[in-house]
């Protein structure tokens, strides 16, 4: 899971139209780092879920970090407005203790909050 860091400040500074464009841009940019059969979708606000098929936790972490870095280094141009932002990500993988999608989402969400509250623009692994 990931979300855009300090998203409220984007909306407050540039307006909701630019905030919406930032959400779309984050999704599009993320898609570049995924395989064709992987999924990315918005699950609410500025929060996204990525599903990686047949991917180890270590591989998922590496993909997440490439996505994080790709967003961090991108300058987004929306009309006449230039916006830079970062994302925080939480990574979880199916294992013998977590076999449901909801359980997996909860673990990824907990890891995402650790990334947010430990400084943002980070990737954290689920425990």
- What is the per-residue pLDDT across 5-50, written as a single tens digit (0 to 9) for each? 999 999 999 999 999 999 999 999 999 999 999 999 999 999 999 9
CA distances from 55 to 10, 36, 79, 120 (A): 33, 14, 37, 24
Q: Which of 46, 47, 59, 96 is catalytic?
A: 46
In the chain, where are the structural domains located?
Answer: 2-125
Burial of 53 (0-12, 13-18, 19+ CB in 10 A): exposed
The CATH code belonging to domain 2-125 is: 3.30.70.270
Is 47 annotated as catalytic? no
> Which residue would you say has higher pLDDT here, 124 or 94?
124
What pLDDT, on the 0 to 100 scale, is given for residue 99? 73
**What local confidence, expressed as pLDDT, does residue 78 receive?**
94
How confident is the model over 45-78, as pLDDT tens digits? 999 999 999 899 999 999 999 999 999 999 999 9
């Amino acid at each position: 899971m990931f979300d855009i860091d300090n998203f409220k400040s984007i909306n407050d500074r540039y307006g909701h139209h630019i905030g919406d464009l930032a959400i779309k841009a984050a999704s599009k940019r993320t898609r570049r780092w995924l395989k064709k059969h992987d999924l990315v979708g918005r699950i609410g606000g500025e929060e996204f879920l990525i599903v990686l098929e047949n991917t180890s936790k270590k591989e998922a972490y590496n993909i997440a970090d490439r996505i994080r870095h790709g967003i961090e280094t991108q300058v987004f141009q929306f009309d006449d407005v230039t916006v830079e932002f970062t994302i925080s990500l939480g990574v979880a993988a199916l294992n013998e203790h977590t076999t449901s999608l909801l359980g997996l989402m909860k673990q990824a969400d907990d890891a995402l909050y650790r990334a947010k509250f430990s400084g943002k623009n980070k990737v954290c692994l689920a425990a």
